[in-house]
Amino acid sequence: MTNIGHDSQPLLQPVRLGALTLANRLVMAPLTRNRSAAGYIPWDLNALYYAQRASAGLIVSEATAINPFGHGGANTPGLYTPEQIEGWRLVTSAVHGKGGRIFAQLWHTGRQAPAETIPTGSERQTTLNLTKQGIALITAEYAQAARNAIAAGFDGVEIHGANGYLPDQFLEDGTNARSDDYGGSIEHRARFLLDATRAAISAVGADRVGVRLSPGGTFGDISDSMPWETFSYAVRELDKLALAYIHLVEPRNDRGEPAELATARFRPLISRPTQLIVAGGYDRASGNAAIAEGTADLVAFGRLFISNPDLPARFAREASLTAYDRSTFYGGGAAGYVDYPTLQAG
């Protein structure tokens, strides 16, 4: 193994992100693992998992529901009850104790919410059935979830506007059939995403808020007739808010997502000091290249962080990487969660 240093590995260089200075440019991507305790409450096992990965420049938490309608499955965490806030405080304290930084990803799944997670007697909150009063309530819940995140010890929040979840359902015309101020034109369809983002900013400040988008993504049966026009508008409007960062997911060819929506095309639309985080299939070489070429400021790694909790150290030493086990991604206990090895000292 060789330690090739920070000069030849831009990923290992520090960076300013909003209110924070990060030790490196590796971001642990948000990863749903379905291991919260009853009541959608984080617990000791989650604290250990995140603390093991605290050497990431920034951790973005797994998707975390802003209200009881926003979950994406069993044992996914929330951030809307006192017990959930206390559970997350275990996590953030553990991460900070290891010198790490962590943002909470705020989640509302909309029409993707599984039936078993919807409160009894209720229906899913979707673009079609929400009144303007309902939209205003959810927007306020984004603000409250952001305040709850800071109360729980998080360093900031990320609005989950990707992967066909509620903000994405409003943004894209394949799912938004409204004809009022929240539907029709691109400007109207982007309103919910921007309202939710502004709500979080009002609660915790723009330098502690990021937004994740997946231009051209198809997950959740999402689509748009003019994806470049839609997403370039959204990115330009988000850029005006002076966020800590915008987090973009690369299109995936195996899903038929258009290559012209590659994240590099959006870089000129994002003004400093807002940083661009990119995600989607990066490894050490391609991540370093993206930063060296100026097409990204930070790179998010998901599956590699699952099985390599000390990923920055492995990159620094050009060490081999541990393979991940897909069968343990969702649900279960310690196996495939907190039992992956780290490099030996020396």
* Catalytic residue status for 80: no
Q: Is the peptide bond before 268 cis (omega within 30 degrees of 0)?
A: no
- Residue 103's beta-bridge partner residues? 60, 156
Name the active-site residue from 165, 182, 233, 340: 165
> What is the length of the chain?
346
Q: Per the structure block, which two tokens stand in for 113?
A: 């919410």
Inter-residue contact 85 to 79 (CB < 8 Å): yes
Alpha-carbon gap, residue 139 to 121, rounded angstroms: 22
Beta strands at 58-65 and 15-17: parallel, antiparallel or unpaired: unpaired
The radius of gyration computed from the CA coordinates of the chain, to the nearest angstrom, equals 19
Is 78 strand, coil or helix? Answer: strand
Place of tokens 């069993």: 74
Alpha-carbon gap, residue 306 to 310, rounded angstroms: 10
> Which residues form the catalytic set?
165
